[in-house]
Amino acid sequence: MEKIRSHKDLNVYQLAFDSALQIHQISQSFPAEEKYALTDQIRRCSRSVCANMAEAWRKRKYKNHFISKLSDSEAEAAETQVWLDFALAFQYIDNKTHEDLMDRYEHIIAMLINMSHSPDNWIIK
């Protein structure tokens, strides 16, 4: 097992980053009138999942700060799921794409919860 040296080495970060890239790609086909509503929001929160994980990783010296940033990341992942539901309801994405991305975000959320429930495995002592 390789040593984790940065947030980029975390499986949860890699999954979230890949998911954000996929969301960016599929949202390019959203209607122009959604540019500042759905498109901007879903891109922003999916990217924020990753950004908050990077911040959490750098705040590992402080258990409560670490947990707080993981919580922020989890909230952004849940928000991403809401926007995916809207994209499906508006028929901007198909059922398969929706299911695949929802499953990815369920895994991301589960991994973040596991990390926040066992912070001593991650924090710098």
Chain segment 59-116, per-residue pLDDT in tens? 999 999 999 999 999 999 999 999 999 999 999 999 999 999 999 999 999 999 999 9
From residue 60, give the alpha-carbon distance in Å to each of 22, 38, 55, 66, 89.
29, 33, 9, 5, 39
User: Among candidates 56, 40, 42, which has minimal Cα distance to 8?
Assistant: 56
**DSSP at 39:** I
Q: What's the pTM value of the predicted model, to 2 decimals? A: 0.95
Q: Which amino acid is at 34?
A: E
Task: Find out whether 109 and 80 touch, Cβ atoms under 8 Å.
Answer: no
